[in-house]
Amino acid sequence: MHRRHLILAAPLALGLGLILPRRSAAFILPETDAISFSVFRKNDSPMGYHRLRFTRDGDRLIMEKEISLEVTLAFVTAYRYRHRNREVWEAGRLVEIETRTDDDGDDYWLRAKAGPDGLMVEGSGGSYVAPADIIPTSYWNNAITSATQLLDTQRGLIMDVRMEDRGPETLTTQSGPMQARHHTINILTNPPGKTNQIDLWYDETGQWVGLAFEAKGQKITYVLDSVPVPPEPAPQSAATP
């Protein structure tokens, strides 16, 4: 496997738990009940994983996410990142979200629920009402490509963004070249020192298949796993401060 380019796994085989319908009125749903990425820094140094699981509860779609990243230098942990996220979607809109993040010792949390005037948000970024149709930074929802604002699932803030469609690209995969569409999120309201550009790739069906960004001068690359690995069950009330 060559990791000098963004590496994407071959299309997932049939029979891997196709529990969700392909489309909704607002966005394209995942083809399987799990998506997972291995994460690398400097293109080839393993850093951890990013895993998502999708389930149905009546008319609601539930997404549970786990991110675990770590940088070790000379057998000493130089950086550690842990993130949990649970989202509930109904009729194409986010109706509940709960997250908890440990960013190398800095703790963040977010909790929000749909209300009559929009999404009622409280967390590390304060309390406010977000637009009812706000999209969180969990990236699986390809409706993000037309967004002008995003809900930061770590800090609990609204980010103003400018989306850029960079067109189709041929990407190296485990089974040969794969066509995907490249989009860039230009973050207009990030504080100094924070990532202000994120690259996303979606395949021809709208499925999320890649991500890359720079952090502290290093390129971070997501590699889609050929066999999806679901996240571990989340502890109860993970976002309670």
Output the pLDDT for position 189: 85
Residue 162 belongs to some domain of the structure: yes
Nearest-5° angle of CA 124, CA 158, CA 211?
A: 100
Residue 71 lies in a domain: yes
Over range 183-204, report the average pLDDT.
Answer: 88
Select the more confidently predicted residue: 65 or 232: 65
pLDDT in tens, 202-239: 998 888 999 999 988 899 999 988 888 889 887 655 44
| Between 154 and 233, the higher pLDDT residue | 154
Residue 29 domain flag: no
Q: Flag whether pLDDT at 87 surpasses 50.
A: yes
The closest alpha carbon to 50, from 149, 122, 140, 144, belongs to 140
Query: How confident is the model at residue 30, as a pLDDT?
Result: 72
Structure tokens given for 208: 């999320």
pLDDT (tens digit per residue) in 178-187: 789 999 999 9
Range of the domain at 168: 34-224
Whether 236 is in a domain gets the answer no
The answer to whether residue 45 sits within a structural domain is yes
Report pLDDT for 13.
Answer: 26
- CA torsion 184-155-84-208 (nearest 10°) is -10
Assign 174 a pLDDT band (cuts: 50, 70, 90): low
Asked if residue 94 has pLDDT above 80, the reply is yes
Cβ neighbors of 117 (< 8 A, separation 6 or more) are 129, 132
Would you say residue 48 has pLDDT above 60?
yes
Is the pLDDT reported for residue 25 higher than 80?
no
Provide the percentage of residues in the chain whose pLDDT is more than 70: 83
Instruction: Read off the amino acid at residue 178.
Output: M
Stretch among 1-10, 35-44, 162-171 having the lowest mean pLDDT: 1-10
Q: How many distinct structural domains can be found in the chain?
A: 1
- Is 4 within the bounds of a domain? no
pLDDT of residue 236: 59
> Mean pLDDT score of the chain, rounded to an integer?
83
Cα(173)–Cα(118) distance, rounded to whole angstroms? 41
Residue 191 within a domain: yes
pLDDT digits (tens, 9 = 90+) for 2-16: 333 333 332 222 222
> Can you give the three-state secondary structure of the chain, one letter per residue?
CCCCCCCECCCCCCCCCCCCCCECCCCECCCCCEEEEEEEECCCEEEEEEEEEEEEECCEEEEEEEEEEEEEECCEEEEEEEEEEEEEEECCEEEEEEEEEEECCEEEEEEEEEECCEEEEEECCCCEEECCCCEECCCCCHHHHHCCEEECCCCCCEEEEEEEEEEEEEEEECCEEEEEEEEEEEECCCCCCCCCEEEEEEECCCCEEEEEEEECCEEEEEEECCCCCCCCCCCCCCCCC
Percent of the chain with pLDDT over 90: 61
**What mean pLDDT is predicted for residues 130-137?**
96
Looking at the domain assignment, is residue 220 inside a domain?
A: yes
Tell me, what's the pLDDT at 235? 65
Q: Which of 21-25, 127-131, 171-175, 222-226 has the lowest mean pLDDT?
A: 21-25
